[in-house]
Amino acid sequence: MALQHPADRGGGKRGPFERFAEAASLFTSSPAFHLLCLALVAGVVVTHVSGAALEWKVFAGECMTAVTLLLLALLKNSEQRAERAVQRKLDAIANALVESNVGDREKAFADLKSAIRMEEET
């Protein structure tokens, strides 16, 4: 088990978990996932209103709990990755400003370009 920040694991390349977390984050922000959640909530409501057996009510509640827990873990992972990415960009900007006044402007620009990933955005 790694106790490193998610953005620091695996160096510069993304591992299988990071790719999965990114794909899951994109899916959970989609309209399809919203409809899936509405269907799950509707299923829980129908289970309780219809007077189904206690086992089905417990099962529906446990499904909701499991989905909530998974989404919470995904949210925390995404939050940490975004926080670290912003911090790296701010650090690169600060270093570039310092180095541009001191010297070695090409290295400062290369570090800045790498940190903000300008080539991926355009």
> pLDDT at residue 122 above 50?
no
H/E element, 79: helix 54-102
Name which residue leads in pLDDT, 58 or 108: 58
Q: Is residue 4 part of a domain?
A: no
CB 8 within 8 A of CB 84: yes
In a domain, 7, yes or no: no
Least confident stretch, 67-76, 87-96, 107-116 = 107-116
Is 34 part of any domain?
Answer: yes
What are the φ/ψ torsions at residue 83 (nearest 5 degrees)?
A: -60, -45
Task: Write the DSSP symbol of residue 1.
Answer: -
Give yes or no for residue 119 having a pLDDT over 70: no
Question: Does a structural domain hold residue 8?
Answer: no
Across all residues in the chain, what is the average pLDDT? Answer: 79
Q: How many residues can be counted in the chain?
A: 122
In a domain, residue 95? The reply is: yes
33 occurs within a structural domain: yes
pLDDT at 32: 92
Does any domain span residue 11? no
51 located within any domain: yes
Instruction: Identify the band that residue 62 occupies on the pLDDT scale cut at 50, 70 and 90.
Output: very high
Q: Identify whether the C-beta of residue 111 lies closer than 8 Å to the C-beta of residue 92.
A: yes
- In Å, how far are 32, 55, 69, 99, 119 from 28, measured between CA atoms? 8, 28, 13, 41, 27
Task: Look at the chain and report how many structural domains it folds into.
Answer: 1
Q: Report, as an integer, the average pLDDT of 21-40.
A: 88
Range of the domain at 109: 16-121
Interatomic CA distance for residues 84 and 6, integer angstroms: 8
